[in-house]
Chain A
Amino acid sequence: MTRVALLVALAMSSHVTAYAATVTPTSAQVWVAGRQIPFEKLGLAFGDPVAQVNDSGLNAMLDQVAAHLAWQPGTRFVAITRADGELITFTVGSNAVSVNSAATAIPFAPFTQNGQLYLPLLPLARALGLGVRGFHGGYVFVPQILAVSARQDGPRTIVHVAASGVISWHSAYAAQSRARTLSISFPGFGTDLAADVQNRIGLVARGTIAENGPPGYPTTTLSLALLGRASFVARRGDGGAEMDIVVARDQAALKTATIAATPSAVTRVNTVVVSATTLPTAAPQGGSPSPAAPEPVDTSSPSNEVPTAAPVAEPSPSGSPMPLTDQKITAVSIARVPTGTRITLTLSGPVSFSWHRLGDPDDRFWLDLDHAVLVGASRDLDVQLDFIKSVKVSQHLLVPDKVVRISIAPSRDTDIRVGQVAGTNDQIGIEIETATPAPDAAMAGVGELNATIATNASPRPAASIQPAATVGDLVVIDPGHGGNDPGSLNPDLGLTEKSLTLAISKIVQNRLQSLGWRVVMTRDGDYEVGDPNGIDKQELQARDDVANAAGATILVSIHINSSVSTSANGTTTYYWQPADKTFAQDVQAETVASDGIADAGVKREDFYVIKHAAMPAVLVETAFLSNAHDGSLLQQPAFLDRIAAGIVKGIMDFTGGPHAPPPTPGPSP
């Protein structure tokens, strides 16, 4: 017994003595999350950095990642709580560190010297989830994006990000003709995650992650390829080391998910910075920075906030849904304010809005007000700013929802802020001012005008409502299949579906154009619209992307049918959205009347192309290639012309013509 105790005592003594002998001062710098941490007494033991447990530098390092240290002098245990709540435990004399009871070996144990407890910094950094990156004569600890996961919650797709530090982010939204990508950048964060972090789920087609920039201060960017038009919000979790990105088709779903009613304060993060905010009243308010604002509705994280002179408006009652009744924009005014030039939109009631900005070289910004009607004609606004090429306000959409768009084309670096004008409950302001150059990125965000607005607010004197001249005149025609996908075949007749659909579509295009329509074809040759090597999601979504990006009024997808039953014949028109049934009925009736073959009816089916279009959409199976009668007719150009004529008539019936106000969706069945 005595012998055993003596051996243990010798071993502990040996450890302490050995460690104490190796500590040497060092002037090496320590950087954490891009910030240099000044240590009082940084030392080296066995060649690695060590710090006293009560060194203010160590606590500053922990502060940088929202971790907290607890240690009682005279005890052997040091407990550190990470931002995510995980507990790290070091024990004097133990060559292991435990994270939530899971032990990991470390090169040497914490030790005491002259009554001071020393912790090895590198194992500590790793236990904190930091990336350890050396540079000349110093140590760089980089917070990491540790995990990305996603789940579907009703209409919302929620992407969860976990990190080893307090997350701050910039968001960017890029809508190219065939792809929508939401990018969330985390400045100062690295990652060891594999590039593909998320397969398709809900509205997210794919999630990828990449680290760029200098190793000491990298930026990790999470890119989410979205399936069609979507809105999103991002919010940080309570601990600061987690965030949720919520994506939904419509903003109502976002509101019920996460959004605080009043957006956050102004942020400035990019070449053209757009943020949802509360703007000061025209008479400037002096004073202190704004108090803590509610969670952001996208743009950038609260850590990027800069103080503003604006008082923060009272938030709307939480959870109160925005009414979907249309509101009028009764006045549009321009005024100089101390913070820039402000365009003020006065509304008759509450609306929600979203904004987008493209990246270089096309720095256009636009703000869409949902369920809004512009009183008066679409018009250009003269803001008298030499760095703004144009500002336009227009009735962008009338179907399926009424949307008023304000678009701004800057000629150089510009800050644009969007928000409710403080002291009002019926005004949205857009403030424009020059900005210092910054890295380019596309951005987007959403917000809403205070939901407490009185719906009977007296509108300003207004002109009569006039429909916009160009609304309702764009048709997208989608010739089915193409390229490596021939569609249906009839080898005996030498016919392929992809050739027939293209032929019919070109006739439809010509006929529509002769009537004054603008027409966009998803393809005008024998090729795939999407990635030829991609799965059909990309191919079908690519066709929707063409229509959605073009802002089409309607979409018609043209196909040739085929069946194992050679007796199956006739024309069928498919729809998915109940509101599109009238459109399908119009196209079906006119096509059957024109082509003279059997009426196989209007049907509702869950077809991808018509389901993911943001406008009234139908898919016409014009005739059966597998039927002898229909097939023989499909060999005749005159028959193809009759089909095309019928489709065009159906479009005319539904829309009323190229320059008529767009159609009102029909009643649900």
Chain B
Amino acid sequence: MSSKARLAVAIALLLSVAGCGHRGAPPPPTDQITVYYSKAGSDTLVAFHYSAAPGLAGAPRAQYAVEQLLAGPLDPAADLLTFPPDTRAKVSLTNTTADVDLSGSITKRFSRGAGDEAGLFKSLTYTVTDIPGITAVQIRLNGLVAPALPGGQLELDEPLSRTTFAQ
């Protein structure tokens, strides 16, 4: 398609949108969140962008982002670390720290290696702290602050931040 042809199509589309605008409500504005997944065996984070309801902010926005993270990436073939499928999270907010209360089998026993463990919580921390106003994540396991996952190595009894994972 030539540049002139592309211009003509664009003008036609604009006219079409303008023409039907008076017949109904305008489409709602969209919002996006960013969910980060860690690549297995590396320090790399992969960002996925998901649509979010406009105006979603604070704890509800963090809850939504964490649920997207737990649901797993759109491309299951990608070598990305995911939480066990039965993992659930309840997110609340105290000042600038998000309290992420995890439940599910991950709170009973973590039998993967330290690299996967660090990658999972790095992705969770980056996802939650991507939301404006949130700088840290306090992990809870079934409502309680615990020093580590059972069988895990990462210290969880202090809030995690992006600095925690700085190399």
Contact = CB atoms under 8 A, between A and B. Distances in A.
Interface of A: 200, 481, 485-489, 535-537, 540-541, 559-565, 567-569, 572, 574, 600, 603-609, 611, 619, 621, 624-626
Nearest to A576: B155
B89 interface: no
A486 B58 CA distance: 39
Interface in B79-96: 79, 81-82
B29 interface: no
Given A565-B79, A606-B155, A608-B155, A486 B111 contact: yes
Nearest to B82: A564
Contacts of B149: 536
B41 A567 contact: yes
B164 interface: yes
Given A536-B146, A568-B41, A621 B155 contact: no
B47 interface: no
A536 B81 contact: no
Interface in B127-167: 145-155, 157, 160, 164-167
A606 B114 CA distance: 10
Given A536-B150, A537-B147, A574 B79 contact: no
Contact of A561 (B79, B115, B147, B165): B115
- Residue from the set B118, B150, B153, B160 with the largest chain A CB neighbour count within 10 Å: B153
B151 A487 contact: yes
A563 B112 contact: yes
Given A487-B111, A540-B148, A564 B40 contact: yes
B116 interface: yes
Given A200-B147, A561-B113, A567-B41, 8 more contacts: A537-B146, A563-B113, A565-B79, A572-B115, A605-B153, A605-B154, A605-B165, A606-B164
Nearest to B151: A485
Nearest to B114: A621
B43 interface: yes
A603 B112 contact: no
A487 B41 CA distance: 18
Interface string B100-113: 00000000010111
What are the 10 A-B residue pairs with the smallest beta carbon separation, nearest first?
A565-B40, A568-B41, A537-B147, A561-B113, A562-B113, A607-B153, A536-B148, A608-B155, A605-B118, A563-B116
A486 B113 CA distance: 12
A487 B116 CA distance: 13
A561 B115 CA distance: 7
A229 B160 CA distance: 23
10 contacts: A537-B147, A537-B157, A559-B153, A562-B116, A565-B41, A567-B41, A603-B118, A606-B118, A606-B154, A606-B160
Nearest to A557: B153
A607 B164 CA distance: 10
Contacts of B43: 603
Contact of B113 (A488, A537, A609): A488
Contacts of A536: 146-152
A486 B157 CA distance: 23
Contact of B151 (A481, A565, A603): A481
Contacts of B112: 488, 562-564, 626
A608 B153 contact: yes
B106 to A, nearest CB: 13
A309 to B, nearest CB: 49
A568 B113 CA distance: 11
Contacts of A606: 118, 154-155, 160, 164-165
B147 A540 contact: yes
Contacts of A625: 113
Given A564-B81, A603-B43, A608-B147, A621 B113 contact: yes
Contacts of B157: 200, 537
A21 B167 CA distance: 83
A609 B152 CA distance: 11
A540 B167 CA distance: 23
A608 B79 CA distance: 27
A563 B110 CA distance: 11
A66 to B, nearest CB: 37
A201 B69 CA distance: 29
A559 B118 CA distance: 15
Given A562-B113, A564-B82, A569 B151 contact: no
Interface string B10-27: 000000000000000000
A571 to B, nearest CB: 11
A572 B43 CA distance: 12
B159 to A, nearest CB: 11
Given A537-B157, A568-B41, A607-B155, A562 B111 contact: yes
B118 A537 contact: no
A537 B158 CA distance: 12
Contact of A607 (B81, B114, B167): B114
A232 to B, nearest CB: 20
Contact of A485 (B150, B154, B164): B150
Contacts of B147: 200, 535-537, 540-541, 608
B40 to A, nearest CB: 3
B148 A568 contact: no
Contacts of B118: 603, 605-606
Nearest to B84: A564
Contacts of B146: 535-537
B148 to A, nearest CB: 4
Nearest to A489: B111
A630 B73 CA distance: 28
A611 B118 CA distance: 14
A536 B114 CA distance: 15
Contacts of B81: 563-565
B116 A564 contact: yes
Contacts of B154: 605-608
Given A567-B41, A603-B43, A606-B164, A559 B114 contact: yes
A308 B13 CA distance: 96
Contacts of B145: 200
A310 to B, nearest CB: 44
A560 B41 contact: no
A608 B157 CA distance: 10
B113 A624 contact: yes
A464 to B, nearest CB: 42
A207 B167 CA distance: 35
Contacts of A626: 112-113
Contact of B79 (A562, A567, A619, A624): A567
A621 B115 contact: yes
B152 A488 contact: no
A565 B81 CA distance: 8
